């Protein structure tokens, strides 16, 4: 299993709008529906920061590679410049 912790550092006061755009476009639902996806969930920090955390769990490297080829993945990349200043990805491989 591959786990990704994706931290989006959002532009000031745009975190909620970014998450709303993701949900309105169906990016989250489409990602969860992909073969090999075990989890795709967004979390908002309780400290009030402008970060948005995405935790993804994928069955294997093939499922994750397929995710990067999806139209909703491309759409997320298009949305990011409007809302996000930096993205930090932590990758963990578990048995």
Which tens digits make up the pLDDT trace of 14-63?
A: 999 999 999 999 999 999 999 999 999 999 999 989 999 999 999 999 99
> How far, in Å, CA of 34 to CA of 93, rounded?
19
Question: What class is the 2-93 domain?
Answer: alpha beta
Residues 6+ apart with CB under 8 A from 41: 28, 54, 55
Task: Output the pTM of the full model.
Answer: 0.95
Mind listing the pLDDT tens digit for each residue in 1-14? 999 999 999 999 99
Domain ranges of the chain: 2-93
Query: DSSP letters along 50-78, please?
Result: SEEEEEEEESSHHHHHHHTTSHHHHHHHH
Which residues, 6 or more positions from 71, have their beta carbon under 8 angstroms from its beta carbon?
A: none
Mean pLDDT of 74-91: 98
């Amino acid at each position: 299993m591959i786990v990704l912790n994706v931290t989006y550092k959002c532009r000031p006061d745009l975190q909620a709008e970014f998450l709303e755009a993701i949900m309105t476009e169906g990016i989250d639902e489409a990602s969860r529906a992909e073969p090999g996806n075990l989890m795709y969930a967004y979390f908002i920090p309780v400290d009030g920061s402008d970060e948005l955390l995405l935790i993804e769990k994928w069955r294997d490297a093939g499922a994750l590679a397929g995710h990067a080829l999806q139209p909703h993945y491309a759409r997320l990349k298009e949305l990011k410049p409007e809302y996000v200043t930096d993205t930090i990805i932590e990758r963990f491989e578990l048995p």
